[in-house]
Amino acid sequence: MTPKDFKHWRKGVMRMSQKEAAEALGLKRRVVQYYEKGERDGDVIDIPKAVRLACFALAQGVTDYHGPAIGAEGVPPEPDAGTTPAPDEVAGSKARKKKKAAPPAPAKGADDVPPKEPDTAEPQAAAS
């Protein structure tokens, strides 16, 4: 959104004063002036994405937003108290790969010593 577009949104589309636009966007009037001019103290100033989206929302008649309705499509219902949904249960989340942990090492003790193999070698004859 260029400064010219912003000013057209305010004056032409919304028919608001700078003060009204500032209040609707949650900004100071001076910031609205900076956005319309495209600069502040000689430095170029860009209109942030959040402000651009807010301008669109206001033009569509949205004046406030409290988040998605519980149970709306793509919104998980409130989890039971004390539980958290698994990542794959949350709409829109990417399935996360869990690292498999190595099995725990057994405790060292007498039971961990493998039995000795019986000596199957034939006795050697003594040299005479």
pLDDT in tens, 58-73: 999 999 999 888 877 7
User: Per the confidence metrics, is the pTM higher than 0.85?
Assistant: no
What the block records as the tokens of 51 is: 């402000």
Asked if residues 27 and 51 have their Cβ atoms less than 8 Å apart, the reply is yes
Task: Measure Cα distances from 128 to 9, 118, 121, 123 in Å.
Answer: 114, 28, 21, 15
Asked if residues 76 and 89 have their Cβ atoms less than 8 Å apart, the reply is yes
Architecture of domain 3-59: Orthogonal Bundle (1.10)
Domains of the chain, residue spans: 3-59
Which is more confident, 50 or 112? 50
